[in-house]
């Protein structure tokens, strides 16, 4: 009889329904099935490895996830330090602010009469509705806050920390911005102009010249310096977009000034885009290695799934398995209240890169 191939070692185990199983138990058994089910189970393992290691974990958040009902999951991940730094689209932060201020998104239909919705002042995000009038009030609220600040440029990290603090003081409600403020977790929003937060800032500048100025290049310097100060990093990406590339480019930029960086040590992404059209959102983690964004030996996994399916499952499983890891975790400590951020007591400049290679000569 021919010797069994070395490729035929671990059988697929058909998934058996077991009443009362929790998310962690289900994902554990999904490691022996196929396709995106197995990838989601692998993502659970990779995230656990991140938490067990001494790495700074970046979370990237794109798409309409706050409007779609995932904002409190992200707030939970921040509050409990499953992640150490959030990079988000402006829309996700704006829709989070909308609900933190006591307003809602509503269940709708993708087959609605959009002309009728427009007549009623209703904005639609696929199968979700929101009030245009309430959005206008949010813009004015953001503008009023921005005009109350000193008239100078702010990195998005500094501005969003201040905004989260103001939101917490005025509402006392849980959300992404308020969780990050309370946990001293930095938020970067590299495309803040491409959102209603940007529209509110533009109204601030209209109302009071000199206000509403955001230093997005300072974000690049600050995020790279953060990695230079703490070179071992990991990346969790939800939905691709600008946040995915910003997290990766921070590692590449940091490596230009410090040979200790070497790309992210762990990476997982939950995306719906595919790589063969060339867009960054769907690009593979293997492709990221060619740019130096990811270490060659890094544990990594891509889950091709809508985040509204995968993230509730994954976060629920982590809530069961991660507490022992979190209890032992050495997480970075930030101070964010001032113009200059610190990490573990070291300054993180936003004006110039920390040239570690040069200082070592």
45-55 pLDDT, tens digit per residue, is 999 999 999 99
List % helix, strand, coil for the chain (3-state, nearest 5). Answer: 45, 15, 40
Predicted confidence (pLDDT) per residue in 117-126, tens digit = 999 999 999 9
Residue-number span of the structural domain to which 46 is assigned: 23-359
Within a domain: 117: yes
Within a domain: 87: yes
Q: Are 243 and 88 in contact (CB under 8 A)?
A: yes
Within a domain: 317: yes
pTM above 0.75, yes or no: yes
CATH number for the domain that contains residue 129? 3.40.910.10
Predicted confidence (pLDDT) per residue in 116-171, tens digit = 999 999 999 999 999 999 999 999 999 999 999 999 999 999 999 999 999 999 99
User: In 3D, which of 36, 167, 2 has the Cα closest to residue 27?
Assistant: 36
Within a domain: 172: yes
The number of distinct structural domains making up the chain is 1
Within a domain: 210: yes
Catalytic residue among 244, 260, 293, 328: 293
What pLDDT is attached to residue 358? 56
Within a domain: 6: no
Q: Where are the beta strands (DSSP E) in 220-337?
A: 233-238, 266-271, 300-304, 334-335
Q: Average per-residue pLDDT in the chain?
A: 96
Within a domain: 231: yes
293 is catalytic: yes
């Amino acid at each position: 009889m021919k010797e069994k191939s070395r490729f035929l070692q671990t059988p697929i185990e058909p998934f058996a329904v077991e009443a009362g199983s929790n998310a962690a138990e289900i994902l554990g058994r999904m490691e022996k099935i196929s396709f995106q089910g197995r990838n989601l189970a692998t993502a659970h393992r990779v995230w656990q490895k991140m938490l067990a290691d001494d790495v700074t974990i970046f979370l990237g958040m794109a798409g309409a996830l706050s409007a779609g009902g995932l904002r409190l999951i992200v707030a939970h991940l921040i509050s409990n330090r499953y992640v150490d730094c959030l990079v988000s689209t402006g829309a996700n932060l704006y829709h989070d602010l909308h609900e933190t201020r006591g307003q809602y998104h509503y269940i709708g239909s993708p087959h609605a009469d959009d002309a009728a919705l427009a007549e009623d002042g209703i904005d639609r995000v696929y199968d979700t509705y929101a009030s245009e009038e309430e959005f206008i009030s949010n813009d004015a609220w953001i503008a009023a806050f921005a005009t109350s600040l000193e008239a100078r440029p702010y990195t998005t990290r500094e501005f969003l920390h201040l905004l989260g603090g103001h939101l917490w003081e005025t509402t006392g409600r849980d959300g992404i911005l308020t969780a990050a403020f309370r946990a001293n977790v930095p938020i970067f929003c590299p495309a803040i102009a491409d959102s209603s937060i940007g529209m509110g800032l533009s109204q601030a500048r209209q109302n009071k010249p000199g206000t509403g100025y955001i230093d997005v290049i300072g974000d690049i310097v600050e995020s790279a310096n953060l990695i230079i100060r703490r070179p071992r990093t990991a990346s969790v990406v939800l939905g691709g977009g600008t946040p995915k590339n910003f997290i990766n480019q921070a590692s590449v930029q940091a490596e230009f000034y410090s040979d200790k960086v070497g790309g992210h040590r762990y990476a997982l992404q939950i995306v719906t885009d595919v790589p063969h059209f060339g867009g960054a959102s769907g690009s593979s983690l293997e492709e990221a290695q060619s740019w130096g964004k990811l270490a060659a030996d890094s544990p990594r996994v891509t889950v091709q799934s809508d985040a509204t399916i995968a993230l509730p499952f994954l976060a629920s499983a982590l809530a069961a398995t991660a507490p022992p890891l979190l209890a032992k975790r050495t997480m970075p400590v930030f101070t964010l209240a001032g113009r200059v951020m610190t990490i573990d007591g070291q300054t993180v400049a936003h004006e110039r890169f920390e040239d570690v290679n040069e200082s070592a000569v």
